[in-house]
Structure 1
Amino acid sequence: MRPAFEAAGLKLVEIDWRAPLEDFADIALVLLGTAWDYQDHFGDFVAKLEALEARGIRVCNPSQVVRWNGDKRYLKQLGDAGVTTIPTLWFDEVKSSDVAIALDAFEATRVVVKRQIGAGGLGQHSFGQDALPQPGWRMGQPAMIQPFLPSVVEEGEYTFVFIDGEYSHGVLKRAAEGEYRIQSLYGGIEHAFEPQPEDLAQASAVFAALPFDDMLYCRVDMARLPSGELAVMEAEAIEPYLYPEQASDLGERMAAAVTRRLQSP
């Protein structure tokens, strides 16, 4: 993004989110990025964003978006709004017996256990009828259980990037051999792709259902259900990786969107 921002007369400065507020004194807008420990310190992270906003610094995305998006229970709200979601069971604490209950409830041979506040697939587990957790196993924090979707391995996971309310570009993410997690951390590979109109319409419906109209960016991740319909896995609006390698004009899009915000009241 840096060349495009410089061409637009903007300067990018990298500051650790834990830095003192005084270090942000000359900053007009904070663009969240690579704050990859926020999920383990979520309260502190949101409090810092609120403190920056209290000083008149614009934060993208705003703290209210971050607070809402940080807990994956937002998926329940999207489902209530008519968005196609993956069937999910929610727990304040997941025990080994809950995994067996979920397998029966979903009539599934395999499930995935995820943190309710998490990112990047970290702390995620997958269990099957033939590979149950050991007796006494606990997740140790609020979590969610979903049926494993074979399409994630067979077809991949689709990402739709939206910048300033408009669709920007698409990415198909494929897992490495023998792996189900699609993140590059686990050997996943990303490719640019042009979505079919019906798939883009489904992703756009997810974006339209989000209860905010001031997001600079959002990444909608989706996977295909056995019915053939895409279901939302995540609507990432905190500090998602936006796949600049798959979009030659991402820098220009972001620079233009930031400029509009700096020029508005």
Structure 2
Amino acid sequence: MLLGTAWDYQDHPEDFLDRLDALAARGITVCNPPEVVRWNTNKRYLKRLAVSGVATVPTLWLDDLDGSGVLAAMDRLGTGRIVAKRQVGAGALGQHSFTRYALPEDGWTMGCPCMVQPFLPSIVNEGEYTFVFIDGVFSHGVLKRAGAGDYRIQSLYGGYEAAYVPQPADLATAEAVVAALPFDDLLYARIDMARLPSGELAVMEAELIEPYLYPVQGPHLGERLAQAILARIQGG
């Protein structure tokens, strides 16, 4: 079974994971496997990747966030603008960005475990890079840009994308992220990266659940996926 558009899993994570476990218990092959999905559901996996040497964005991991916490986070991260995201989230839903001159209203809270990062100007100036891998092999790249007046690159907020041919050094950085993942048999992986002020690419997310794999920008994606799935069926 190939995971599809389970875009509300972040609101019902345990129900979603229980369903995958139930399918696997019936002998149904799930791609990517439930143990991979469970590991990938909470973005704290980024902390584990950082420990393994992968370049990541400096991040504060918090049980919740309020207005005073926003200012404290800016001080701790040494920045005048932060982005706050849900630890279990997708599609930038429930995401917020604040500056010292545009703080949340009194009484505001995230209301859930969250991650706080410094805003990266490169997201707007350069874009976010996506590297799609099938069976551990690079398939195609995508450059995602934010729409006018926004910093989020999702189409829901006016973002757009184009095919991207990565430079060898950038591709090697993405390949190092895949190599650092604690799994050997991934059908697919989508590595999203953005450039740090140092010029180094840092992983924003390693999408292993039900990522959109950008078939328009990867015209051979269907064939590559079919071949990888067929190999699993024949091998099983």
Q: Which SS does the other structure have where 1:31 is aligned?
A: coil
Distance 1:92 1:106 in 2: 17
For residue 155 of structure 1, what is the aligned residue in structure 2?
Answer: 126
Residue 108 of structure 1 aligns with which residue? 79
TM-score by length of 2: 0.99
Which residue, 91, 95, 115 being the options, matches 1:144?
115
Q: Distance in 2 between matches of 1:177 and 1:194?
A: 24
Q: 2:165 aligns with which of 170, 194, 212?
A: 194
Alpha-carbon RMSD across the aligned residues, in angstroms, is: 0.6
SS at match of 1:45: helix
Give the deviation of 1:202 after TM superposition: 0.5
- Distance (Å, rounded) in 2 between the aligned partners of 1:261 and 1:165: 14
Specify the SS of the correspondent of 2:39. helix
Over 4 Å off, 4+ runs: none
Aligned to 1:85: 56
Give 1:112-261 correspondences, 5 Å limit: 112-261=83-232
Give, in whole Å, the separation in 2 of the partners of 1:228 and 1:134. 35
Q: 1:76 corresponds to which residue?
A: 47
- In percent, how many aligned pairs have the same letter? 67
Task: Quote the Cα distance in structure 1 between the aligned partners of 2:212 and 2:224.
Answer: 15
Match of 2:14 in 1: 43
Alpha-carbon separation, structure 2, partners of 1:185 and 1:166: 29
AA partner of residue 17 (structure 2): V
SS in structure 2 at match of 1:261: helix
Deviation at 1:253, TM superposition (A): 0.2
Separation in structure 1 between the aligned mates of residue 155 and residue 66 of structure 2, nearest angstrom: 29
SS of aligned partner of 1:240 = coil
Q: Aligned partners of 1:236, 1:100: CA distance in 2, in Å?
A: 30
2:60 partner letter? L
Q: Distance in 2 between matches of 1:207 and 1:97?
A: 37
User: Residue 58 of structure 1 corresponds to which residue in structure 2?
Assistant: 29
Distance 1:104 1:209 in 2: 31
1:136 and 1:37 mapped to 2: Cα distance? Answer: 27
For this pair of structures, how many residues does the alignment match?
A: 236
Provide the rounded CA distance (Å) in 2 between the counterparts of 1:31 and 1:167.
19
**Post-superposition CA distance 1:151-210 (Å, at most 9, x none):** 000000000000011000000000001000001111111000110000001000011100
1:135 Cα deviation (Å)?
2.5
The separation in 2 between residues aligned to 1:59 and 1:36, in whole angstroms, is: 17
1:136 shift after superposition: 2.0
The whole-number CA distance in structure 2 between the counterparts of 1:56 and 1:165 is: 24
Q: Look at both structures and tell me which one has the larger radius of gyration over its CA atoms.
A: 1
Distance of 1:36 and 1:46 partners within structure 2: 13
Alpha-carbon distance between aligned partners in 1 of 2:107 and 2:158, rounded to the nearest angstrom:
31
Distance 1:202 1:221 in 2: 11
Shift of 1:264: 1.1
